[in-house]
Every structure is written in C-alpha cells, then in structure tokens.
Amino acid sequence: MIGLVISCALSIPVSVDSITNYIQCKEEERKVMYVQQWQPTIEQYFKQEDVKQAMLIVYCESRGKANAVGINKDKSKDKGLWQFNDRTWEWLTPKLNIKGDRFNARLSTAVASWLVYNDGWHHWNSSSDCWKKG
C-alpha cells in the first residue's frame, strides 16, 4: 500500500490566504484520516492521483460506514460507503452485470471507480461542499 501523505505547511510570509489554505488542508487531512481503513480498497480501484478525492467523498457521503443508509425526500434510498441511490444502482446493475449489493464496500468502490472514469465525479455533487476545494 502506498501511503497517502497530506502535507500542510504555512508559507512564509504568513498571509490570510496561506492561513486559509492551511486550515483547509488540515480539514482535508482530518477527513482522510477518519476513513483511512478504506485506503487499501480505494487504492485498488482508483488512480493514485485520485485516491485523496475518493477518500474525501467516502468521508462526506457515509463517514466511512459501509452500512450507511440515507433516505431522500422522494423516499429513495442512498446506501453504502458511496451512498449509491436506488435509481443509480438499478441503472448500473445490468450495465455492469453487478452481482451484489451497495453495502459491499469492495463492490461499491469498484462501481464508483467505473462511474468516475466513465462519467466523472459529478455523481457525488450533492456532497461537493464537503469534498471540493473552495
């Protein structure tokens, strides 16, 4: 496993921008560390340069809980580490010949990777305030 290192340092001279960037970096570091148990799985399916973003999304979507369930206003459910919605999972199941459910962290990470590399990160835009840099 390749270690994910986030280096947060204040620049000299210190400015409002550098302090803001430092605080943002430390917050990202905290989120990544919170879900570090999923790093080996994520590294199997994502390019190294995308591992940090994937880990941030896992934190923001489920706080790293593979059994997480979210219920939406329309009564649909988001399930698992990546919080796949009922409709998205139903759409992807025949397309990818999925044999398993959204609570399987390895399977849902493989599906998330396929989705990212074939259609982008936008599927997790509902939590982008948490994982995207300002």
Q: Domain boundaries in the chain?
A: 37-131
Q: Is 34 strand, coil or helix?
A: helix
Q: How much is the pTM?
A: 0.87
Residue 25: the pLDDT is: 87
Cα 100 from Cα 111, distance rounded (Å): 11
Residue 1 has pLDDT above 50, yes or no: no
pLDDT one-digit tens code per residue, 62-85:
999 999 999 999 999 999 999 999
pLDDT tens by residue, 20-44: 888 888 899 999 999 999 999 999 9
The CATH number of 37-131 is: 1.10.530.10
DSSP of 51-90: HHHHHHHHHHHHTT-TT-EEE-TTS-EEETTTTEEHHHHH
Q: What is the mean pLDDT of the chain?
A: 91
pLDDT band, very low/low/confident/very high, at 4 (cuts 50, 70, 90): low
What band does 3 get if pLDDT is binned at 50, 70 and 90? low
